[in-house]
Structure 1
């Protein structure tokens, strides 16, 4: 097999992006009906909120100039997009395809070279996977407010979902301006995290690819993917059980899930702490927003929500919630300057045990 043949992308053989987009397009409900002038103003204010959030996040994190300047340069290479629900779904279809492409292509190439004698993926199976993904994203689209998406492009992109932000602010009775900045702060914190740790994208993607490759196992990749996506829809349904741990088949997968959960816990917990530390001086109604939003936050959203359900990480939700407690525990002992060591090297990331016991991380990293 020549180099070009063996290295070409084969994700389309198990996941039809066109079927996913068509399904999402047909199922995603419209956002609130606003006059054109008002929607234009909302978009402009969200862009302004995202720009304002960068300095606020960097101020809270207290990165030294030697780190903050490279972070700003990396941020400038990325995108900030204010999008509708379908555009958000389309971005996630691209991100999911990018994440799955490596392991899926490797599995299919390996089977071809080893002549397993198993049938090749069918177009019907790829379409079924696409329909399942589109259905899942259509459900999530009304719940997602914003998302930093690191996988679809090299520099990453920040997505702010204007219709859902507007609808959610109205639903919880929040001040619209305050709520827009509050959402932008959370998502911009994620963007800054990846800019402060330029190795983080490849590190997390590597863990995800290794896990997906293991989960595909000896089954048909298309059938396994369709089954996993179908399971996600059941979890998200009204009678959903929140149990996708059956996808985990061995100790290797359990270890990878623990490592991914620890990273997710850190990133989400850190974002929560940063956005709250900005405080009422900048967002007057921040405490009321936090109380109202915490009641709503029963389910994960954004790419994290997709990955959480797809990979069975919902079973680790309790550890995930420990992320903010870990960050606050480190801050009490070492401040932001001490916490910022996590962005220096993958070896300095906390594991799940350290997420639960921040003193252990401080002892290991700071002595």
Structure 2
């Protein structure tokens, strides 16, 4: 299935509408708190850029772009537009009924994700990339962790702004992701509905979740494309987590406390339904990306320094191979 065919299978407008309606309402906050959080997140997204550039040694030209501070329904609408753009879909699907069904499914997934996401850098927007920060979720987590709001907001921005710097300083990354996605969604002779049906059976019967199923139904080029995306995602998330901790207490005074409490929250046991949904959506795999990716970046930077680590951004051939993420010395030996 080509990108355009995949995108055309979803009624994206309906997905956005369903997702916005299904999104869980955020916890109650005063108007003062809401306005203050929006203003401070916008300020922190700008303040985070200089220390991120200093730590990463990645430099971008031009003024620091403003972040877009959104609520959950606004994030869902932005996410559907990004997915539509990535998959080459039209504003709405050609087949009314099938497009509505897949649109409703997509909207329901995004509604679930919208209650947990703190921020996201989207490199596929029409204006070349936009940083989104979901202020109700930031407020909810900082209250749950009982941390200093200003410190937590800047700490979150350090991670998300690192993604902005990664893609702005290395514009080839967006094209690399698009090319891998094109292979991943290429027609392998399977009807999408049949694949989804087999997915449900597979998840019931197996323990290795969505990734194991995907590998079972993909061609070899598709498996390689999936590996490329997973490795890149692990690198990007680990690099951003490394930067958050490397910035230091002069920028985020309570950063050590925030990291400890945030990691405890990440690993807290979830209710059964939550665990199933997280596995299906790959959220637990993303948690692994943070841990493995940060360990990779930490070790390489410790051994060779940030300037030599930045060789990793030269091009596709210098990215880590799948077996190098957990053995950083192999990447150092091959590239450096």
TM-score with structure 2 setting the length: 0.85
Distance 1:246 1:330 in 2: 32
Task: List 4+ stretches of structure 1 deviating above 6 A.
Answer: none
Q: Cα gap change, 1:154/1:242 in structure 2, threshold over 3 Å: closer, same or farther? A: farther
Q: 1:176 Cα deviation (Å)? A: 0.8
Q: 1:38 Cα deviation (Å)? A: 2.6
Q: Which residue of 1 aligns with 2:254?
A: 285
Distance 1:315 1:49 in 2: 28
- What SS does the aligned partner of 1:72 have? coil
- Alignment match of 1:54 (pick from 33, 45, 49): 49
Q: 1:315 Cα deviation (Å)? A: 5.9
- Alignment match of 2:61 (pick from 72, 84, 95): 72
Distance 1:282 1:196 in 2: 23
CA offsets per residue over residues 16-62 of structure 1, 9 Å max, x none?
11221121122112223222233111111001100000001001113
Distance 2:279 2:127 in 1: 22
Residues paired across the two proteins, number: 319
Mapped contact 1:204–1:260 kept (Cα < 8 A): yes
- What SS does the aligned partner of 1:178 have? helix
- Alignment match of 2:17 (pick from 19, 22, 37): 22
Mapped contact 1:83–1:159 kept (Cα < 8 A): yes
Q: 1:338 Cα deviation (Å)? A: 0.7
- Alignment match of 1:359 (pick from 309, 329, 336): 329
Structure 1 unaligned blocks of 5 or more? 1-7, 105-119, 300-305
Structure 2 unaligned blocks of 5 or more? 269-276
Distance 2:325 2:108 in 1: 34
Are residue 95 (structure 1) and residue 82 (structure 2) matched? yes
Q: Which moved more, 1:142-151 or 1:314-323?
A: 314-323
Distance 1:317 1:171 in 2: 19
Distance 2:77 2:195 in 1: 18
Q: Cα gap change, 1:176/1:317 in structure 2, threshold over 3 Å: closer, same or farther? A: closer
Q: Which residue of 2 aligns with 1:113?
A: none
TM-score with structure 1 setting the length: 0.78
- Alignment match of 2:142 (pick from 145, 169, 172): 169
Mapped contact 2:238–2:297 kept (Cα < 8 A): yes
Are residue 122 (structure 1) and residue 95 (structure 2) matched? yes
Q: Which moved more, 1:338-347 or 1:136-145?
A: 338-347
- What SS does the aligned partner of 1:356 have? coil
Are residue 260 (structure 1) and residue 229 (structure 2) matched? yes
Are residue 200 (structure 1) and residue 173 (structure 2) matched? yes
Distance 2:207 2:94 in 1: 30
Q: Cα gap change, 1:55/1:308 in structure 2, threshold over 3 Å: closer, same or farther? A: farther
CA offsets per residue over residues 127-177 of structure 1, 9 Å max, x none?
111101111111111100111111233511100000110011101111111
Mapped contact 2:37–2:135 kept (Cα < 8 A): yes
Distance 2:94 2:189 in 1: 13
Mapped contact 2:9–2:94 kept (Cα < 8 A): yes
Q: Which residue of 1 aligns with 2:220?
A: 251
Q: Cα gap change, 1:22/1:354 in structure 2, threshold over 3 Å: closer, same or farther? A: same
